[in-house]
Chain A
Amino acid sequence: MSALLEVEHLVLHFPVRGGILFDRKLGEVHAVDDVSFTLREGETLGIVGESGCGKTTLARCIVRLLRPTAGQIRFRGQDITTAGRRALRPVRSQLQMVFQDPQASLNPRKRAGQIIGGALRLRGIRGPAVTERTRELLRRVGLDPEHANRFPHEFSGGQRQRIGVARALAMDPSLIVLDEPVSALDVSIQAQVINLLDDLQDAFGLSYIFVAHDLSVVRHVSDRIAVMYLGKVMELSPAEELYVKPVHPYTAALLASIPVPGPRENRARPRAVVAGEPPDPIAPPSGCRFHPRCPRATAVCQKVEPPLVEHAPGHLAACHHPLNLTLDDDRAVDGAYSRAR
Chain B
Amino acid sequence: MLEVEDLRVEFTTDEGVVRAVDGVSFSLAEGEVLAIVGESGSGKSATVMSVLGLTRAAGARVQGSARLFGRELVTASEHELRGIRGAEIAMVFQDPMSALNPVQRVGDQIAEQIRAHERGLSRAQVDRRVVELMERVAIPRARDRVRDYPHEFSGGMRQRVMIAMALSCSPRILIADEPTTALDVTIQAQILEQLARLGEETRMGILLVTHDLGVVADIADRVAVMYAGQIVEDGTLDELFYDPQHPYTWGLLGSIPRVDRERPERLPAIPGAPPSLARTPHGCRFRPRCPHRFERCEAPPPLELRLDDSPGHRDRCWLEPGDKRRLRLVGGQVGLAAGGTVIA
Contact = CB atoms under 8 A, between A and B. Distances in A.
Nearest to B257: A216
Interface in B251-298: 251-260, 263, 266-271, 273
Contact of A158 (B185, B242, B273): B273
Contact of B259 (A157, A158, A188, A215): A215
A220 B263 contact: yes
A262 interface: yes
A51 interface: yes
A146 B193 CA distance: 49
Interface string A199-224: 00000000000000111110110000
A188 B39 contact: yes
Given A240-B263, A261-B217, A186 B39 contact: yes
Interface in B118-140: none
B39 to A, nearest CB: 4
Contact of B189 (A157, A189, A194, A273): A273
Interface stretch (A66-74, A133-141, A166-174, A250-258): A250-258
Given A187-B256, A188-B39, A257 B217 contact: no
Contacts of B259: 215-216, 219, 243, 255, 258, 260
B interface majority secondary structure: helix
Contacts of B213: 187, 261
A336 B233 CA distance: 55
B217 A187 contact: no
A261 B256 contact: yes
B186 interface: yes
Interface stretch (A75-83, A264-272, A312-320, A323-331): A264-272
Contact of B186 (A243, A254, A261, A266): A254
Contacts, number: 125
A274 interface: yes
A51 B155 CA distance: 10
A262 B188 contact: no
Contact of A195 (B218, B237, B269): B269
Interface in A242-296: 243, 253-266, 269, 271, 273-275, 277-278
Contacts of B169: none
Interface string B140-166: 000000000000001111000000000
Contacts of B116: none
Nearest to A272: B189
B40 A186 contact: yes
A192 interface: yes
A153 B40 CA distance: 16
Given A50-B184, A189-B273, A261 B268 contact: no
Given A214-B185, A220-B263, A259 B255 contact: no
A191 interface: yes
A40 to B, nearest CB: 20
B255 A191 contact: yes
B52 interface: no
Nearest to A157: B40
A266 B39 contact: no
B258 A257 contact: no
Given A187-B255, A263-B217, A50 B185 contact: yes
Chain A CB within 10 Å, residue with most, of B186, B211, B253 = B186
B215 interface: yes
A188 B255 contact: yes
A257 B186 contact: yes
Given A254-B185, A259-B215, 16 more contacts: A187-B211, A188-B252, A189-B273, A190-B255, A191-B267, A198-B266, A219-B259, A253-B186, A259-B218, A260-B217, A261-B217, A273-B186, A275-B190, A277-B156, A277-B157, A278-B184
11 contacts: A159-B273, A187-B213, A188-B269, A189-B39, A191-B257, A194-B267, A195-B267, A220-B267, A258-B214, A259-B189, A266-B217
Interface of A: 50-51, 156-159, 186-192, 194-195, 198, 213-217, 219-220, 240, 243, 253-266, 269, 271, 273-275, 277-278
Shortest 5 CB-CB contacts between residues of A and residues of B:
A191-B269, A259-B214, A191-B255, A188-B270, A261-B213
